[in-house]
Structure 1
Amino acid sequence: MTESPAVRRRLLPLLLLTVFLLAGGLASPAGAHPMSTSAVLLDIGEDRVEGEVQLPIDRLAIAVHRDLTPDSVLGADRAFLADYTAAHISATGTEATGGAPWTVALGAARVRTIDASPHLVYPLTIRPPHGDDVTDFRLRYDVIVEELLTHNVIVTVRHDFDRGILKTDDAETLGIFDFDTKTLEVPAGEGSWLRGFATTAGLGMKHVGEGADHLLFLLMLLVPAPLVAAGGGWRTAAAPSSRRSVVRVVHVVSAFAVGHSLTLALAATGLVDVPSRPVETLIAFSIAVSAAHAIRPLVARGEVLIASGFGLVHGLAFASLIDDLGLGRGSLVTTLLGFNLGIELTQLLVVALLMPSLLVLARTAVYPAFRVGLAVVGLLFATSWMLERATLTSSDPFEGVQTWLVGHPLLVAVALAVPAAVARLSHKELDGPSLCRTDS
């Protein structure tokens, strides 16, 4: 049936509206911006909860019925906004602890751009009454959401040692404040020091396990461990002893542990503060020295001296991670113990994976060439790191190789074990007078 012109005229606006709505619905959202949200970030300690409140200035202006700008919130409107914000945040204990009010204090405000939007940011401190330890508590919050029905406030715990929340990747979202939800219970009393201890031990293992420089330093110290220094070179002992080699490895690992533990403790407690760039450069230099020692002994039992001396430098690098975690003094001792345990466990794992193969290869005729070749590679990597960390070069050309090697430790161990097994099975071992030959 043919539609009349009048009907078509009546349908045309409806058709245009439909096309407009479809175009809007199907259009790419790339240019759309989500409505600004507030954030409450909590760092839970033993006797206080610290953190910050992030308020989008455009949403805050609507809530307080004022024209706010990044300049005015720190100027003419500073006192008003501080009073307004403080009046809309409170905390109390749970019913199990009597429900007593906690002290809430805001620090000096500053403006920070978050997600391309200017935010008014207040440091936040919450304390339980009478100096008690922090337990579960109720947080009441209705900044902005008391006026804006569509506004959301995301509450996140970014640090809680007892629950193993120590870094950004572990941050836990507790919930959301909105027009209907003004109170959330914060599980600040859950967990235990053991969970935090285990988490920091895991961080220590991860830091060393992913640190090509720390692993290479240890490897360069292990390479000459089955040998003895004599006549300005390395030689296989006249009576090879696995027990003697193991003792030397224990000395090396222990010396490194003592060195890095000392500076780790000093730096973590704030008694020593060294910029990271020279520390990282010195770590690369330590690898170069240990590689040179593996080629030709610098001093008798030099690997123990190198391990202890440069262990002090490596400890400063370990401390930088502790500092990045932002741990409070209350958990510092547990943190240091856990982190150190993780480091030592990783070192022992590296020794267990590599040392049997090195012990076997050290009794074969191929070990001098193997040892020198491996040390030259270590020296090459260390030199490249030194140049980059001293800003003499813009990049490390061996980074891809190093990343692959660190990411495949079992393959590296197998690659070392295969020639050791072949040499062992083919009986190409040094014997008789050749055992005392000097590798110069």
Structure 2
Amino acid sequence: MRRLLTLLLFTVFLLAGGLASPAGAHPMATSAVLLDLRADRVEGEVELPIDRLAIAVHRGLTPAGVLGADRVSLHRYATRHISAAGTDGTPWTVTLGTGTVRTIDGTEHLVYPLTIRPPRGHRVTDFDLRYDVIVEELLTHRVIVTVRHGADGDAKTLGVIDWATKSLKVPAGQGSWTRGFLSAAGLGIEHVGQGADHLLFLLMLLIPAPLTAAGGRWRTGSNPPRRSVVRVSHVVSAFAVGHSLTLALAAAGVVHVPSRPVETLIAFSIAVSAVHAIRPLVARGEVVIASGFGLVHGLAFASVIGALGLDRGSLVTTLLGFNLGIEITQLLVVALLMPSLLVLARTALYPAFRIGTAAVGLVFAGSWMLERAGVTASDPFEGPQTWLVGHPLLVAASVGLLAAVARGVAPRAPKQAVSQVT
């Protein structure tokens, strides 16, 4: 009955999540605005992922359609949502050229040439870029803005536009590197914090941390909390080392792997970690899995910043900031969940909780693998995933409440093997 009660709680989460609007496992698919500042004008381009653009305009779009039947309406839509003004509020002229379709990191984008001009006779000075293409409808969308000063200048990350921040001040002079660093850190926080697959991967690795692998099974025992915390720190560090290595290599163009197999491998990594949470695959497997699949996750992180054309110095700054954001998010997840898991692991409910959670993770991972491999057209569990990711504090509080109740109802975990539900 206790095990059924725990599984029932997860079912309630899934049913509630089914009421949420669907979003992908990577809801942070980004647009990009690349600006090239000249003396009398600003040139550049706007890169819009067609799948996200379709959500914003509430219609189905295809690469052929955006250049055909939908060409005029989409041009008008984008033009309405991009504007610029000087620091005194004087409007500048914004012109979008003829759109083309380009594949960027495996995703079809509608790309518009962009020209921004100050009033006639004026030179380019500091100005405000106001932009809400897609983000005015899709709350999880992000727009990365880069700027280059002159044809021979170096591209730098200027900032990120989202639903809450729809304008950026563009300096006519060389901007501070700290702004790009902080923007990249925020992007890293949002990328993991809103990516259901990355969060689920981390959760699958945290679940076995309070337990001991013995005889091919998970056993509860007398592990002190300090030892569990050390194990978690090893997991987070191993993942950080793995993704940092491939993130740097991929963003620098040293290695390149198409996004479809990378995303499929990420789903596979979640499936492996879920199986490990049910029954240990190797001794200290969480560290091995985290370091190995961290390499794969780094390739996915690189897709966010790899196509921005940053110079070497700005690339280093962006990578450092992005990595910092990722690590901050991981530590927040650990801080929210680990205390409850340590308490819950010392109760009779933990086997059911562990296996139930891992089973949900395995189902989600399997659905992602089928979708990303092109076997299925969509993920039927997108609603639950969106709801769970959108309510992290509620999820953490629910786990904490379950731990508190379990401690009172069943304060002692059985000492025998608990890797199977009978």
On the 8 A contact 1:211/1:406 being kept in 2, the answer is yes
Question: Residue 234 of structure 1: SS of its match in structure 2?
Answer: strand
Structure 2's unaligned 5+ residue stretches are 1-32, 47-96, 101-111, 131-144, 148-154
Is 1:207 equivalent to 2:191 in the alignment?
yes
- CA 168–249 in structure 1, closer or farther in 2 if over 3 Å, else same: closer
Tell me what 1:334 maps to. 317
Q: Letter of the aligned partner of 1:339 in structure 2?
A: F
What aligned pairs does 1:248-327 form with structure 2 within 5 A after superposition? 248-327=231-310
Structure 1's unaligned 5+ residue stretches are 1-39, 55-110, 115-120, 125-138, 146-153, 175-185
Q: CA deviation at 1:159?
A: 2.2
Is 1:368 equivalent to 2:351 in the alignment?
yes
**Alignment counterpart, residue 146 of structure 2, candidates 159, 171, 177:** 159
What aligned pairs does 1:95-106 form with structure 2 within 5 A after superposition? none
Distance (Å, rounded) in 2 between the aligned partners of 1:418 and 1:301 = 29
Distance (Å, rounded) in 1 between the aligned partners of 2:210 and 2:128 = 56
Distance (Å, rounded) in 2 between the aligned partners of 1:122 and 1:362 = 56
- CA 435–330 in structure 1, closer or farther in 2 if over 3 Å, else same: same
Aligned residue pairs: how many? Answer: 299
Query: Under a length normalisation based on structure 1, what TM-score does the superposition of the two structures give?
Result: 0.62
- Deviation track 1:200-236 (CA, whole Å, cap 9, x = no partner) reads 1000000000000000000000000111111111001
Question: Residue 112 of structure 1: SS of its match in structure 2?
Answer: coil
Is 1:233 equivalent to 2:217 in the alignment?
yes
- CA 299–399 in structure 1, closer or farther in 2 if over 3 Å, else same: same
Q: CA deviation at 1:330?
A: 2.7
Q: Letter of the aligned partner of 2:304 in structure 1?
A: L
Tell me what 2:419 maps to. 439
- Deviation track 1:236-282 (CA, whole Å, cap 9, x = no partner) reads 12x23000000000010000000000000000100011000100000
Tell me what 1:112 maps to. 98
Distance (Å, rounded) in 2 between the aligned partners of 1:374 and 1:41 = 42
Q: CA deviation at 1:156?
A: 5.2
Question: Residue 295 of structure 2: SS of its match in structure 1?
Answer: helix
What aligned pairs does 1:335-350 form with structure 2 within 5 A after superposition? 335-350=318-333
On the 8 A contact 2:161/2:167 being kept in 1, the answer is no
Q: Percent identity?
A: 67
Tell me what 1:393 maps to. 376
- Deviation track 1:107-162 (CA, whole Å, cap 9, x = no partner) reads xxxx7249xxxxxx9899xxxxxxxxxxxxxx88869x9xxxxxxxx995942487
- CA 41–337 in structure 1, closer or farther in 2 if over 3 Å, else same: closer
The structure richer in helix per residue is 1
Distance (Å, rounded) in 2 between the aligned partners of 1:196 and 1:302 = 37
Question: Residue 42 of structure 1: SS of its match in structure 2?
Answer: strand
On the 8 A contact 1:41/1:156 being kept in 2, the answer is no
Is 1:43 equivalent to 2:30 in the alignment?
no
Q: Letter of the aligned partner of 1:327 in structure 2?
A: L
Tell me what 1:404 maps to. 387
What aligned pairs does 1:134-145 form with structure 2 within 5 A after superposition? none
Question: Residue 435 of structure 1: SS of its match in structure 2?
Answer: coil
- Deviation track 1:333-363 (CA, whole Å, cap 9, x = no partner) reads 1111100000000000000001111111111
On the 8 A contact 1:236/1:435 being kept in 2, the answer is yes
Distance (Å, rounded) in 2 between the aligned partners of 1:338 and 1:331 = 10
Query: Under a length normalisation based on structure 2, what TM-score does the superposition of the two structures give?
Result: 0.64
On the 8 A contact 1:267/1:319 being kept in 2, the answer is yes
**Alignment counterpart, residue 225 of structure 2, candidates 242, 249, 252:** 242
Q: CA deviation at 1:324?
A: 4.1
On the 8 A contact 1:167/1:325 being kept in 2, the answer is no
What aligned pairs does 1:22-171 form with structure 2 within 5 A after superposition? 42-43=35-36, 51-52=43-44, 112-113=98-99, 158-160=145-147, 164-166=158-160
Q: Letter of the aligned partner of 1:425 in structure 2?
A: G
Q: Letter of the aligned partner of 2:146 in structure 1?
A: H
Q: CA deviation at 1:52?
A: 3.5
- CA 112–245 in structure 1, closer or farther in 2 if over 3 Å, else same: same
Distance (Å, rounded) in 1 between the aligned partners of 2:180 and 2:242 = 24
Q: Letter of the aligned partner of 1:159 in structure 2?
A: T
Question: Residue 165 of structure 1: SS of its match in structure 2?
Answer: strand
Q: CA deviation at 1:51?
A: 3.6
Q: Letter of the aligned partner of 2:336 in structure 1?
A: L
CA RMSD in angstroms, aligned pairs only? 3.2
- CA 53–355 in structure 1, closer or farther in 2 if over 3 Å, else same: closer
Q: Letter of the aligned partner of 1:294 in structure 2?
A: A
Q: Letter of the aligned partner of 2:415 in structure 1?
A: L
Task: Tell me which of the two structures has the higher relative contact order, counting C-alpha pairs closer than 8 angstroms and 6 or more residues apart.
Answer: 2
Larger C-alpha radius of gyration, 1 or 2? 1
Distance (Å, rounded) in 2 between the aligned partners of 1:414 and 1:260 = 29
